[in-house]
Structures are given as C-alpha cells and as structure tokens.
Amino acid sequence: MAKRQHVVPNKSGGWSVRREGALRVTKSFASKQEAVTYAKNAAKEHHGELVIHGADGLIKARDNYGTDPHPPKDKH
C-alpha cells in the first residue's frame, strides 16, 4: 500500500511532514511551502498521496502520485 505524506502544523509554529502511520515526524520546516515541496517529492518517489493540512489541522488539499483506484474519467 502506498503511504500518505501529511503536511501538518507543529507546536513550534513551523510545519512538519509526517508519513501516515509513523510515530515521529519525518522532517520539520520553517515554512509551509518548504514542507509541501519536500512531501510532494516523497509522495512522488513512493507513488503515494500528499495530504496538506491547514493551520487549523483540517485537510485543505490532496494530490495522488500513485495508482489511483478511482481515476477520473476522460471526458474527451
């Protein structure tokens, strides 16, 4: 199963990347954009999903870089 990479706010005011199911964060960053870039590369490398959370902890965006079991149908 492909792993999800979550970009989440951390207690020190920065942002962290946490692989789903991991007990610890993978890496912490000062800015959200740095964390998103790192997590996006990890998701692509492992054919997984990127899940970006907002400062409130709620999911704001998702991107799938793996095998999507329900890909969108081409309308052309």
Residue 69 lies in a domain: no
CB-count burial class (<10 Å; 0-12, 13-18, 19+) for 35: buried
Supply the range of the domain harboring residue 32: 4-64
Residue 42 in any domain: the answer is: yes
Task: Look at the block and give the residue holding tokens 């954009």.
Answer: 33
Q: Is the pLDDT of residue 1 over 50?
A: no
Query: Tokens for 43?
Result: 């998701």
What pTM was computed for the model? 0.83
72 CA to centre of own chain: 20
Contacts for 15-18: CB closer than 8 Å, 24+ residues apart = 17/42
Structural domains of the chain, count? 1
Task: Look at 34-38, 42-46, 68-72 and tell me which has the smallest mean pLDDT.
Answer: 68-72
- Residue 21 domain-assigned (yes or no): yes
Residues 9-30: pLDDT tens digits?
999 999 999 999 999 999 999 9
Instruction: Kindly tell me the burial class for residue 3, based on how many C-beta atoms sit within 10 Å of its own C-beta (0-12, 13-18, 19 or more).
Output: middle
Q: For residue 3, what pLDDT band results from cuts at 50, 70 and 90? A: confident
Question: Considering the domain boundaries, does residue 76 fall inside one?
Answer: no
